[in-house]
Structure 1
Amino acid sequence: MSNRRVYHIDGGHHASGANTVSKISARLALAGYRAAGITLYPLVGPYLAYRAMKGKEDRTRKLERLGYASLARPRGPLIWVHAASVGETIAIMPMIRELRRREVHILLTTGTVTSANLVRSRLADEVIHQYVPLDLKFPIKRFIAYWKPDACITAESEIWPTTIAELARRRIPQIRVNARISDRSFDRWRNRSSIAEAIFGRMALVIAQSDLDAERFRDLGAWPVITSGNLKSDTDPPPCDEALLASYRKQIGSRRTWAAISTFDGEEKAAATVHKALKPKNGQLTILVPRHPDRADAVEEMLKEAGLTVARRSRNDVVTPETDVFLGDSIGEMGLYLRLTEIAFVGRSLTNEGGQNPLEPAMLGCAVLSGPHVQNFRDAYQHLVRKGAARIVKDVEMLAKAVHYLMINDLARVKMIDSGHDAMEEMRGALSKTIKALEPYVNPLTVSARLQPKAAAVR
């Protein structure tokens, strides 16, 4: 795939003219996007208030979404790092720690309340955390003018045209790490190639997860682009409270278990079907962890209507021998749930498209099962399947058979678990490649930081 344009001698004038028209159209489209943002700006207050009422915004920090800082800017070089939500935040934590060792301040923005809580618990004083400003002209200009970042590093796949334009206007290098682009997003951008080139062409560097992602970013106008692998393979396993883990293991006792994690609508019903099919044979406990805990009430109601007994983590319910489903409706405890089993089905893959991250269950000693729709994690699944660490199931019946087989076949289950550990070792290295690629941008900031007088933060 390539976006290079070939001009024939007899058609050069027409091709050049078409190219000019496309560029003008792209500029007009982006200008229209910015103008729409300015027009809608008066509605931002009610919009944020509504989201806060739904628990999707932090009421005490809503002004950060408008670009108003709630903390002082420290003196010296500062890199703005953005991660949209929990998954992206976890993926870039090792990178952030490496950058901090180079004496550069890190301003980390995230977009969700859960990711902000995660930053508070795991990064503490290592970064300055703010909620990311809305992609509107006034909030973005206000944010950049205050923080004056020396570079901006964005994780994975979010594209915000106004932010990109404002950073480019100030000649602030924009770097995308652990970059990926889904099939659907790529098709959408390719159909708007001039707009894509106007946006992606402003990036100073793209560090892609896979060769396919790298080729796609090049086709959309980004340059230079390199491949690093997935930063998630270099992260530490998700932590858990050891005392809590011991308590639940005691409650579960000798019962067999399996987990359905990061599930979306329809997959909880599939898990219930699997549980009912296997219970007469195995008497197992099903651990069910919806991707969005705020759906837990509806999920519990569905499980009860199916005749199943439910214990919820958020209520600190005791898991008894009569418990059918342990509903993991808490935030930040995936490490707990995965340590309670050796079989994990990873959701958003059976009834929804895209898949979820299979690397955490693999690194925590689980045989991995997944539905067929795993486009967003294609490389990770291909590697795990090739190594024998994961199996793809096409429907609920096949999922039930796979869970049963792994429950009763210790050798097969242990073989998959061992293969997962081997696969994870082979996939490591993305962090070192990413840091090496960032050095031309970071090293001058490190030198500048070491020359700075030690002083308090300034406004």
Structure 2
Amino acid sequence: MAAPALTLTYRLYQALTALGAPLAMREARKRFVETNGPLDRLSERAGRTNVARPEGRLVWIHAVSVGEFRSILGLVDRLVAEGVHVLVTTTTATSATLAAERLPEGALHQFSPLDTPQATRRFLDHWRPDLVAFVESEIWPNQIVAAHRRGLPLVLLNARLSARSLKRWQKLSATAESLFARFSLILCQVKGTEQALALLGADAMVTSTTGDLKADADALPIDPDEAARLSALIGDRPLWVAASTHEGEEEQVSAAHRIVTGTSRESLLILVPRHPERANAIAHQLAEEGWQIARRSAGQDPGPDTQIYLADTLGETGLWYHLAPVVFVAGSFAPVGGHNPYEPAHFGCAILHGPLYANFALAYGEMTRRDACLEVEDATALGLTVAGLFQTPRLAPLQDNARAYVTSAKNLQDDIAARLRALIEA
């Protein structure tokens, strides 16, 4: 079936992004500088690269940042094992660093091209992918239209659509239909997203609900020798982790830890900021509040007097989950939609979260039903809950239920890899 005609709204977007390409590159450079991105790779945002395209079949998967990147690692592994090259694009410096550490041989990383006609054309001309897959809510009109014009299968993986996004697309219903109808395969996290996309014009024959890829991702890696060394240093001190904190949340976590240490003086908090480039400001703030801190990035270990260990490095989140019986998954006191609870569940952690978790409503709803997590309203509730878990038998059932939940998650990776191969070979 032919895709609907492109709308005047899209034509206007195409023209504006073409004219605004220099401004978009200036903004991309500014963002690189702010986040310590590799400026020698900034040209990738314009669709330029010195990396050669590998021979053979190539799948392009765009996963915007760390969470989306981690969710597709198992899928990348399976495709590469089948002899398919995979090009993964992301937009953040943090995810690029992680990609360098985690991608298997046979997979490549690039910063994603800006959604301008010029950058998209250069990117597609060079890489010539056999299939294009976007992860979650990455809907880039110029890239979708350009790939479709070249006859490339388009896939939306782990599709997620917030209520706000749905309202915005409904105001542009004809444009939405012209874009979503160009996808060859759409796999949704929840039935509600599938129904919403149908309203926006997605082809019901290629749209289905499969569950959340993040639930089927492999456990985060750890260094067992380092885990044993740190475990010996920490000993039997009550330990908890605040993972992926955002600006404003460190103050609340600090207030909670004040309650915890008031009950258990030897308690240790491992604080893991979502963006390590904020670590200097966080360290200064904690020191002003009177905490004894040590910093991972400075090569410091948590000593007997350390009250907060600032884990301001990349790629070690699994280590902290391995060590800690209790984890507060942040991004849930700040309006950013929450973060991945499946990752600590793999390690059998008792999982706490705040009330703002729209991006993981499905996961937390099911985990709550299975008594595999607890919601805390604010810093006071967080502190009291952590302190209580250290002193009551409530801890062990939460840990067991979290591990059982993630273990029972449906295996999606093999099925999705098979579907992508079928599209390439069709």
TM-score normalised by the chain length of structure 1: 0.87
Question: Deviations for 1:160-191, whole angstroms, at most 9, x for unmatched residues?
Answer: 11111111221211101111122222222223
In the TM superposition, what are the counterparts of 1:154-303 in structure 2 within 5 Å? Answer: 154-223=134-203, 224-283=206-265, 284-303=267-286
Distance 2:139 2:9 in 1: 15
On the 8 A contact 1:205/1:222 being kept in 2, the answer is no
Distance 1:278 1:105 in 2: 49
On the 8 A contact 2:77/2:104 being kept in 1, the answer is no
1:143 maps to which residue? 123
Secondary structure of the 2:94 match is helix
Distance 1:147 1:247 in 2: 44
Distance 1:443 1:383 in 2: 37
On the 8 A contact 2:4/2:181 being kept in 1, the answer is no
On the 8 A contact 1:229/1:429 being kept in 2, the answer is no
Secondary structure of the 2:105 match is helix
Deviation at 1:289, TM superposition (A): 1.0
Structure 1 residue 58 and structure 2 residue 60: aligned?
A: no
Identity %: 36
Structure 1 residue 423 and structure 2 residue 401: aligned?
A: no
Structure 1 residue 316 and structure 2 residue 296: aligned?
A: no
In structure 2, the gaps of 5 or more residues are none
Structure 1 residue 398 and structure 2 residue 381: aligned?
A: yes
Question: Deviations for 1:27-49, whole angstroms, at most 9, x for unmatched residues?
Answer: 22211211112212233554444
Residue type of the partner of 2:192?
Answer: L
In structure 1, the gaps of 5 or more residues are 1-22, 445-459
1:434 maps to which residue? 416
Secondary structure of the 2:374 match is strand
Distance 1:56 1:137 in 2: 27
Structure 1 pair 46/397, CA: closer, same or farther in 2 (3 Å)?
A: closer
In the TM superposition, what are the counterparts of 1:67-106 in structure 2 within 5 Å? Answer: 67-106=47-86
TM-score normalised by the chain length of structure 2: 0.93
Distance 2:398 2:110 in 1: 41
Which of 360, 374, 394 aligns to 2:343? It is: 360
Question: Deviations for 1:95-128, whole angstroms, at most 9, x for unmatched residues?
Answer: 1122223322222222222222222212242212
On the 8 A contact 2:24/2:114 being kept in 1, the answer is no
Residue type of the partner of 1:72?
Answer: A
Structure 1 pair 35/57, CA: closer, same or farther in 2 (3 Å)?
A: farther
Structure 1 pair 439/387, CA: closer, same or farther in 2 (3 Å)?
A: same
On the 8 A contact 1:83/1:110 being kept in 2, the answer is yes
Distance 2:317 2:334 in 1: 21
On the 8 A contact 1:228/1:434 being kept in 2, the answer is no
Distance 2:125 2:351 in 1: 47
Residue type of the partner of 1:201?
Answer: A
Compute the RMSD of aligned alpha carbons: 2.0
Secondary structure of the 1:345 match is strand
Secondary structure of the 2:115 match is coil
Secondary structure of the 1:107 match is strand
Distance 1:333 1:225 in 2: 36
Distance 2:243 2:286 in 1: 16
Give 4+ residue runs of structure 1 displaced > 4 Å after superposition.
23-26
Distance 1:244 1:185 in 2: 43
Distance 2:187 2:91 in 1: 22
- My pick for the range that moved more, 151-160 or 240-249, is 240-249
Residue type of the partner of 1:402?
Answer: T
Distance 1:173 1:179 in 2: 16
Distance 2:183 2:298 in 1: 47
On the 8 A contact 1:296/1:329 being kept in 2, the answer is yes
Give the aligned length: 421
Deviation at 1:333, TM superposition (A): 0.9
1:378 maps to which residue? 361
Deviation at 1:311, TM superposition (A): 0.9
Distance 2:303 2:216 in 1: 37
Distance 1:135 1:94 in 2: 27
1:341 maps to which residue? 324
Residue type of the partner of 1:234?
Answer: D
Deviation at 1:268, TM superposition (A): 1.0
Residue type of the partner of 1:344?
Answer: V
Question: Deviations for 1:245-264, whole angstroms, at most 9, x for unmatched residues?
Answer: 22222221221011111111
Distance 1:148 1:414 in 2: 51
Secondary structure of the 2:408 match is helix
1:306 maps to which residue? 289
Distance 1:127 1:353 in 2: 30
Distance 1:430 1:196 in 2: 27
On the 8 A contact 2:153/2:424 being kept in 1, the answer is no
Distance 2:387 2:361 in 1: 26
Question: Deviations for 1:57-105, whole angstroms, at most 9, x for unmatched residues?
Answer: 3222222211123222223322211111111111111111222233222
Distance 1:113 1:203 in 2: 29
On the 8 A contact 2:133/2:157 being kept in 1, the answer is yes
